[in-house]
Structure 1
Amino acid sequence: MALTDTAIRKAKPEAKARRLFDGGGLYLEISPKGGKWWRLKYRHANKEKRLSLGTYPETGLADAREKRATARKLLASGVDPSEHRKAEKAAGVERSANSFEVVAREWHVKQSKAWVEDHASRIMLRLENDVFPWIGAKPIGELSAKELLTTVNRVVARGAIESAHRVLQNCGQVLRYAIATGRSERNPATDLKGALPPVNETHRAAITEPASIAPLLRAIDGYTGAFVTKSALRLAPLLFVRPGELRQAEWSEFDLDAGDWNIPAARMKMRQPHLVPLAPQAIATLRELHALTGRGRYVFPGARSRTRPMSNNAVNAALRRMGFAKDEMTGHGFRAMARTVLDEVLHFRPDYIEHQLAHAVRDPNGRAYNRTAHLTERRKMMSAWADYLDNLRTGGNVVLLRSYA
């Protein structure tokens, strides 16, 4: 039976906490000391959760039922009431429940579960710096294309055109989420197609010509800086992972006997675990480095603290020290180097290469390949690549040294 004000007032505490149920998941919990708290029990994403709705008598029965109805409306739209409340608190009490900032923070919490931490942080920083101060308090359903363009043009005005495009993209994603959850009826970001100056496409600097790769490899061999940095430089072309994946590598992820590096999903850009087959040359470099850093967590610990990975600029700084300009070669450029040569010179199948680059490769039925897809062929490819680099380094002809069939 539904609760009444009279029943609530007369309810006495007992030796153990007791609950008086009103229906629809709403109940009043009475502590042994007499405190009375409204709670809402609900399920979201197949998990049972509870939401505090205030204390009695400050929150009366009618108020509690109204809060239950609001929470139920959010659930019907696919929104977790608990996450919505956190977004409201983060935005500040002056923001309305359906303001752009509240909905954006709610969207961010939901999406960031599938993002790496650095990516999630960059997006929130972008919203906090370039969006919330201007339209954060605006009810999201009332936001106009003109207001959105004015906000994004502030980013354009400081010369950050690429950032402006990303700000608009993120705002569009928030607005689509608002439509899906019943807080808005249209997305004004779609009206701004072509409204921003185009981005001058630039590519990360990379050396891809075999004749130029050879001097780079010899320069790495002659590097006189820190041994940890030199090891990272040696492994960068052999493994061609993203710079962040390399510098944050942990010894627990490696099985040197099996020749495998298993990178967990949490550290991958696409939030999918990734397997990197290790050629004998990579294993030899790792075993040598293990003698120095193997007792710690990180393969490449920082220069100032072994409890943190090496700086994200360490490899690029080393390349500059060796005389390679920033428009000539970067740490990320080793990926373009491998992709180009494996395809155009060594003629490996593009899907093998793309899978090893941890790109979103799909099979003919549209399903994503798993981490072990084409593993035998990829092991052969990684060994062929390592041998090819050795041949370049020593001045040999740019052909394979042996068959990998």
Structure 2
Amino acid sequence: MMPLTDAAIRNLGPRDKPYKVFDGHGLFILVNPSGSLLWRFRYRFNGREKLLSLGSYPLIGLKLAREKRDDARRLLVDGYDPSAERQKRRREEEPERELTFGDLSIEYMEKLRLEGRAEQTLRKQQWLIDLTLPRLGSMEVTEIRAPDVLSCLKEQEAEGKFETAARMRTTVGSVIRYAIASGRAVNDPTAALKGALVRPTKSHRSAILDRTQLGRLLLDIKKYHGEPKTAIALQLLAMLATRPGELRLANWSEFDLAAAIWRVPADRTKTRRPHRVPLPVQALELLQELEMFRMKSGLLFSSTQNWKRPISSNTLNVALRRMGYSKETMTAHGFRATFSTLANESGRWNSDAIERALGHVEGNEVRRAYARGEYWEERVELAQWWADQLDSYALEAAKERLV
């Protein structure tokens, strides 16, 4: 291997992929497809191979690059890691840098991950943070004032996204309060924004609550001409009243068909607690039918495009639209409201048992301490009653259409 010369370096041209040209004693120049030339020093410390950046050519010429390499080699002889020494020197020479909102948001998201928050929750939080970064990301967290946050939120309001603006305010406040708790900030500017935003109109997910209309919907689902697995998923959703995401990602390993139980793992529930779902006879029959489509992925509802992945979050709502049910009439999530309303109206069941069936957790901490039971026996009866009710609604709808 011949040592590099300035003439040889000037003649180095870019290729499709980065490549290295060595000089000697660990020094080489990295040639990128963009044409940039970067000096690197490769060395070993405590048995591990490491790289040290020495700058770019021609800002750092061949002679200076070799001097930097030799300085690093002398540190190695004395038992020091050149990379660690460089970082130490920078910390000593540079004044302590104030953390920016972007820096703190990374820490905050890591905190949420360590708390075991649901993946969907993490994605939503990151999305809201990303919306704030163009304006707030590079600002030191101690310098952010209420007008800075408000101008960021007003951009969303200008597009009519009032709910998004409100959620952004909450998320920004959470990040800054985390900074306050960890001693990196003193005041939360979002507190001063109370009442400054347009209050979004609360809208509940649409649901059919009329028994006759529900029967017609169930009949339409059974006669659905689309993907058979989608029809089964909608029937199970109506019957079991779980959250659509819990069913969409369900795996066969979670089901004990002999015991008629579906165990939803904690990492897929909104409450971050494991949830047991009793399976009525009709659900077991649907699951047996579904086994005809069983794939190696273990998913109950694999995508038709990629069997290793579940159906998309829109699949069930799209099916409802194809059957003629608008988003103002019925949604996949609305089956939960349907079950809750009609089960409570029947007067036959303990309201706490219905709440447990929905996977809800008591909000009152004192009451929660005294209501730890799952009401399992009652929920088993409730599940079978509800499945029988749905059958009766569908049967009435079928009779109506024959008239």
- Category of TM-score, reference length = shorter chain: 0.7 to 0.9
Contact 1:15-1:32 within 8 A present in 2 as well:
no
Q: Which amino acid aligns with 1:55?
A: A
1:291 maps to what in 2? 292
1:367 maps to what in 2? 369
- 1:16 & 1:288 partners in 2: Cα distance? 58
Could you say which structure has the larger radius of gyration?
Answer: 2
Contact 2:278-2:383 within 8 A present in 1 as well:
yes
SS at match of 1:59: helix
2:103 maps to what in 1? 102
Task: Extract unaligned runs of 5+ from structure 1.
Answer: 1-12, 18-30, 39-53, 71-95, 397-405
Contact 1:361-1:368 within 8 A present in 2 as well:
no
1:305 maps to what in 2? 306
- 1:250 & 1:214 partners in 2: Cα distance? 29
Among 119, 127, 135, the residue aligned to 1:117:
119
1:93 maps to what in 2? none
2:236 maps to what in 1? 235
> How big is the shift at 1:35?
5.3
Distance 1:219 1:134, change over 3 A: same
Q: Answer yes or no: is 1:258 the counterpart of 2:259.
A: yes
SS at match of 1:56: helix
2:30 maps to what in 1? none
> How big is the shift at 1:256?
0.8
Contact 1:239-1:276 within 8 A present in 2 as well:
yes
1:138 maps to what in 2? 139
- 2:193 & 2:327 partners in 1: Cα distance? 34
- 1:15 & 1:132 partners in 2: Cα distance? 40
> How big is the shift at 1:15?
9.6
Task: Let me know the Cα RMSD of the aligned residues.
Answer: 2.9
Contact 2:99-2:140 within 8 A present in 1 as well:
yes
Contact 2:216-2:394 within 8 A present in 1 as well:
yes
2:84 maps to what in 1? 55
> How big is the shift at 1:218?
1.0
Contact 1:208-1:340 within 8 A present in 2 as well:
yes
Distance 1:142 1:58, change over 3 A: closer
Matches within 5 A, 1:3-402: 36-37=80-81, 55-56=84-85, 59=88, 63=92, 96-113=97-114, 114-128=116-130, 130-293=131-294, 295-361=296-362, 364-367=366-369, 373-395=374-396
Q: 1:57-88 CA deviation, whole Å, 9 max, x = no partner?
A: 76369949x99xx9xxxxxxxxxxxxxxxxxx
Contact 2:102-2:137 within 8 A present in 1 as well:
yes
Contact 2:317-2:331 within 8 A present in 1 as well:
yes
Q: 1:96-144 CA deviation, whole Å, 9 max, x = no partner?
A: 542111111111110133321122112112211x211101111112211
- 1:58 & 1:343 partners in 2: Cα distance? 64
SS at match of 2:303: coil
SS at match of 2:276: strand
> How big is the shift at 1:14?
12
Q: Which amino acid aligns with 1:118?
A: Q
Contact 1:360-1:368 within 8 A present in 2 as well:
no
2:15 maps to what in 1? none
- 2:92 & 2:46 partners in 1: Cα distance? 28
Distance 1:97 1:280, change over 3 A: farther
> How big is the shift at 1:360?
2.2
SS at match of 2:88: coil
Q: Which amino acid aligns with 2:127?
A: L
Q: Which amino acid aligns with 1:247?
A: R
Task: Extract unaligned runs of 5+ from structure 2.
Answer: 1-43, 49-74, 398-403
Contact 2:295-2:307 within 8 A present in 1 as well:
no
